[in-house]
Amino acid sequence: MAEEKRNRIDYLVSFLNKCCDEYYNKNAPSISDAEYDALFDELSALEKETGYSPENSPTSHVGYAVAGELKKIAHDIPLLSLAKTKKAEDIVDMARVSPGYLSLKMDGLTVKLTYENGVLSRATTRGDGAVGELVTHTARTFFGLPRRIPFPGKLCISGEAFIDIPTFERINREIDNDEERYSTPRNLASGSVRQLDSAVTASRHVRFMPFNVLSGFEDIPLRSLRLEKLAQFGFDRIPSLPADANDDVDSIRKKLFSLKETAAENGLPIDGVVFSYDDAAFAASLGRTSHHFRDGIAFKFGDPSCETVFEGIEWNISRSGQLTPIALLKPCRIDNTTVERASLHNLTFVSGLKLVPGDRVRVSKRNMIIPHVEENMSASGRDEYTLEYPDKCPVCGSGTVVRSRESGGKTVQVLYCSNLRCPGRRIKEFTHFVSKPAMNIEGLSEQTILRFMSAGLLRELSDIFSLPQHKSDIMGMDGFGEKSFENLAKSLSAAKSCRLSNFLVALNIPLIGSSAARDIETAFHGDVSAFLNAATGEYDFSALENFGEITNRQIHAWFSDAENMRTVRLLLPC
CB 465, CB 496: distance < 8 Å: yes
Between CA 221 and CA 64 the distance in angstroms is 34
> Please, what sign has the CA dihedral across residues 219, 225, 227, 230?
negative
**Residue 435 amino acid letter:** S
Q: Given phi > 0 = left and psi -120 to 50 = alpha, else beta, which region is 473?
A: alpha
Between CA 140 and CA 551 the distance in angstroms is 30
The four Cα atoms 550, 555, 560, 566 give a dihedral, to 10 degrees, of 150
Name 111's bridge partners. 125, 159
Name 158's bridge partners. 112, 212
Between CA 24 and CA 55 the distance in angstroms is 19
Name 439's Cβ contacts closer than 8 Å, sequence gap at least 6: 433, 495, 498, 502, 503, 506
Beta strand pairing status for 292-299 and 81-85?
parallel
Catalytic residue flag (residue 105): yes
Residue (of 133, 164, 315) closest to 236 by Cα position: 164
**Which DSSP state fits 25?**
I
Which residue in the list 26, 48, 105, 483 is annotated as catalytic?
105
Tally Cβ neighbours within 10 Å of residue 229. Answer: 17
What length does the chain have? 574
How much of the chain is helix, strand and coil, in % rounded to 5? Answer: 40, 25, 35
Name 159's Cβ contacts closer than 8 Å, sequence gap at least 6: 110, 111, 113, 208, 209, 210, 211, 212, 235
For the annotated catalytic residues, the residue numbers are 105
